[in-house]
Structure formats: C-alpha cells, structure tokens
Amino acid sequence: MSVRQAIVGIGQTVYRRRNPDANTAELVRRAVSEALADAGIGLDRIGVVVSGVAPDALAGRTDIDKSSVARPGIPYFRVNTGGASGSSAFLAAMSWIAAGRCDAALVVAVERMGHASTAQKVFNSIFDPIYEKDISLSTISMVAMRATMLMQEHGYTLDHWAGLAARNSASSMLNDTIDQPRSFTADDVLKSPVLAWPIHALESCPMTEGACAVVLVADHLVGDRNAAWVHGAAGLSDSYAMGDRIHRAEGSLVDLLTLIRSTAKAYDMAGITDPTRQIDCIEIQAPFASSEAMAYTALGLCTPAGGPAFVDAQIDRSSRISINPSGGPQAVNPVSATALIRIAEAALQVRQRAGRRQRDGVRTAVATGQGGATQFSTCVVLGDRAQ
C-alpha cells in the first residue's frame, strides 16, 4: 500500500429484525455519530463518504442511501456488490485515500430488508431472468448445493453444520449489538425445519436491519488514537454462474477461488505466510454454517481434506484461532452491512474494544466479504500496529 491507513472509529446500531421506530437516516446517524465520536473526528474532516448498499429491492425503495448516507458538501458515492457491498466500499475508500484525494474517509453500510415481504423472492430475481429465475434458485438453494458438494467430496456431515451454528450462537450471546440473539444447541439445529436439504433453519442467517460505520484515515492522522492498521486488503470478482464453476480447472464451486486469490494477495501485503500461527482472529462473512467451513480452506487454515477436522476443532474450541467471536452473520445478517461489520468486528478485536466478546491476545485479525452468489470476495488483514 502506498499510504498506510488505519481504522480509528467504529459505530454500529443494534441489529434487529425490524426498526419500526427509526427511518434509515436515523439508523445511519446512530452508527455514524458513534464512529466519529470513537475517532474523535468531526464530519468536517471527512473527505469522502462511501456507502455500501445492496439490492435496492430489499428496501422497497431505490437509492435509499441518498437520503440516509449522502452528506451535502462531501464527495459521495455508493458501492453495490451484493453481500460484499460493505467491504467493497471499504476498499474503494482505501483507493481514495491512497490516491491522495483525501486523508479521512467515512464508510457506511446500511440495510433495511425488514421492508421486504420476503428476501428470497428478491434474491431469486438476482439470477438470470430466462434460465434461472424459474427454477426457484435463491441464496438458500444455492448454499444447499454447495453444502451437498462439501459433504460428498470432503466428508462433512450434518453434525458439522449444526456444531458450527451452535458455536456461533454461543458467541452471539456475548455480542451487545444484537437485539435478540438466538440461543440453541447443535441438537436444536438438527431438529429445526429443513429449508433446502441439508440446510436447517437454525444454521441459516436471520433477516436483519442495521447500520455500520467505519472511519478510515491516512497514517498521519492516527496520532495517539487506538487504531486497527490495515496490513493488507484485496478483492476479486468471478463469474456468477454456478454451473460454470462446478468443475472448473482453476477451482470448483466449493473452492471459493476469488476468496483464495483475494486472501493470497492480502496475506502477501501483510507478510502472512503461516495463517494458522500468525492470525489470531477471523470474522468470516458466512451466512450459513457450511459457507463458513468452505471459507476455512480458502483462508489457508486447512486443506480441503482436513476441513472436517478443522471444523471439529472449532466446535470443541480447541483451535487457537478465534473465528467469528461476534457470532458472525449466522447471528445477524443485515446484507448490505454484513461485510463491513466483519471489518468493524475484526478492528474492535485488534483495538481490544470488543467488550464481552473480546478474545485474549488478538493482534492480527482478518475479515472476509462475500457477495453475489460468492461472485465477489474481499479479504482485509488488520493489525494492532503499523507495518
């Protein structure tokens, strides 16, 4: 990176199913005010506002960002890369600062999907209108196909998905940004309804609203602020067509090729050669337990064949690396904001400001972003000191 950058401010609303008491601008104001106060920076010091807002249809209104995030007098633009919108917006803000266009950026992501009567109907319409919409393809059926492949090719079982979901549930109970965390065991997961085999209801994310804001600055503005330094960051896009990715030579549908390559680039920038030893904490954008397991391999934490054993170690908490101490997207998944929340939570961990969910000794943390049928991937590496 040509300019060293750091996160010095974070703000989050409470995440809940609906917010009938607040309009979108009010949600954004809560997150932004908290982030600016955390950073000790006024809006007059912000040189660009970048938002991450995913499908307009989820909010039932187009360009909802303009009336809630855009700030008169400050350059503004909106990023939309589906579920990766928040982290893509973060990368865009990094480019702005690295280009010397400003030295302080405000990244905001907000989700109002509580307005949608059903998210899955909206998600069905993201696919090809001729070939795919009519076969009921949705985010859930898409994940089910991948989970089945993982079970068939690498030996995962339903217990792995249920165990991960239960671990995330337990972690979420310590997260004070969640309005009503769901407490359940692995047995509860297996007894919950099947949405699309092998996906059970309790291992999938709930519909969630909320906003997240992050203040990103160039190194000369950090001063004595408690900072999470960006050591590496990268993003990559793929074909969205799952059929083209099933037996692709470069990597199959469950190999998450874009996350592999994003991670490799970010690790290289950060000087990470042995992630299992050098990384202390990871926030993974995985709205389903099987998606989380799929990311472990892409992040270099285990081999494909060693995936089930690594999941076992996560379930019994014998692994050194803390994964999703916030509870992750299986606890709350405000789609537009989820990827930025991963960055925010990773930053809170390295800043030792994660409250009851703080894990000991976190000095290096990683956050991933996934969007558009895992078409978009991002990886951000954060550390507690400048490189």
Partner 1 sequence: MAADAPTRRKAANAVYVHGVAITIGWADERLSLGDLIFNGVSAALADAKLSMAQMESVVLASHDLVDGRSLSSMVTAPPAGAYLRDEIRLSEDGLAALSLAAARVEAGECEYSVVAAWGRASEGDFARISRRSFDPAMVQPFAVDEFGVSAMRLSAWLATHGPAGEARSRAGAVRERSAAHRRLPTTKLVSMPAPLMSNDAPRPADIMVAAIVGRASAAIRIAGVGHGTDLTAIGDRDLKRCTALADAAAIASGAAGIAPDGFDLYELDGATLADEALAVEAVGVAAPGQGFAARATDPRINRSGGGAAGWAYPANGLLRFADACLQMRGEAGAIQLPGRPRTALATGLSTVAGQAAVVVALEAS
Smallest separation (angstroms) from partner 1 to the CB of 50: 9
Between residues 165 and 213, which has the closer beta carbon with respect to partner 1? 213
- Residue 295 has φ and ψ, to the nearest 5°, of -75, -25
Between residues 36 and 190, which has the closer beta carbon with respect to partner 1? 36
Instruction: Check binding of 92 to partner 1 (CB under 8 A).
Output: yes
Tokens of 202: 């309790």
The string of DSSP letters for 193-251 reads: PEEETTEEGGGBPPB-BEEEEEEEEEGGGTTTS--EEEEEEEEEE----GGGGTT-TT-
Give the Cα separation of 243 and 373 in Å (integer). 12
The binder of partner 1 chosen from 33, 40, 101, 153 (CB under 8 A)? 101
Between residues 55 and 325, which has the closer beta carbon with respect to partner 1? 55
Give the Cα separation of 337 and 291 in Å (integer). 18
Q: Are the C-beta atoms of 384 and 230 separated by less than 8 Å?
A: no
Q: How many residues bind partner 1 (CB under 8 A)?
A: 66
The binder of partner 1 chosen from 127, 156, 161, 229 (CB under 8 A)? 127
The binder of partner 1 chosen from 33, 157, 239, 276 (CB under 8 A)? 239
Site string for partner 1, 138-157 (x = CB under 8 A): --------------------
DSSP helix/strand/coil, 158: helix
Smallest separation (angstroms) from partner 1 to the CB of 329: 17
Instruction: Check binding of 79 to partner 1 (CB under 8 A).
Output: yes
Q: Are the C-beta atoms of 122 and 55 separated by less than 8 Å?
A: yes
H/E element holding 33? Answer: helix 24-39
The rounded radius of gyration (Å) of the Cα atoms in the chain is 19
What b/e string do you get for 167-182 counting C-beta neighbours within 10 Å, with b at 16 or more?
Answer: bbbebbebbebbbebb
Instruction: Check binding of 234 to partner 1 (CB under 8 A).
Output: yes
The binder of partner 1 chosen from 34, 203, 209, 238 (CB under 8 A)? 238
Q: Are the C-beta atoms of 8 and 217 separated by less than 8 Å?
A: yes
Tokens of 181: 């965390």
Interface region with partner 1, contact rule CB under 8 A, candidates 231-239, 277-285, 348-356, 362-370: 231-239
Instruction: Check binding of 376 to partner 1 (CB under 8 A).
Output: yes
Positive or negative torsion for Cα 94, 264, 257, 239: positive
Q: Restricting to residues 246-265, which ones interact with partner 1 according to CB under 8 A?
A: 250, 257-258, 261
Instruction: Check binding of 17 to partner 1 (CB under 8 A).
Output: no
The Cβ of residue 194 has, within 10 Å, a number of other Cβ atoms equal to 12
H/E element holding 314? Answer: helix 307-315
Interface region with partner 1, contact rule CB under 8 A, candidates 157-165, 199-207, 236-244, 309-317: 236-244
Q: Restricting to residues 37-76, which ones interact with partner 1 according to CB under 8 A?
A: 44, 46-49, 53-58, 60-63, 65-67, 70-76
- E runs forming strands in 238-363: 281-283, 322-323
Instruction: Check binding of 196 to partner 1 (CB under 8 A).
Output: no
Smallest separation (angstroms) from partner 1 to the CB of 247: 16
Smallest separation (angstroms) from partner 1 to the CB of 115: 9
Smallest separation (angstroms) from partner 1 to the CB of 101: 5
Between residues 2 and 117, which has the closer beta carbon with respect to partner 1? 2
- Interface residues with partner 1 (CB under 8 A) are 2-3, 44, 46-49, 53-58, 60-63, 65-67, 70-82, 88, 91-92, 95-96, 98-102, 122-123, 125-129, 234-241, 250, 257-258, 261, 372-373, 375-376
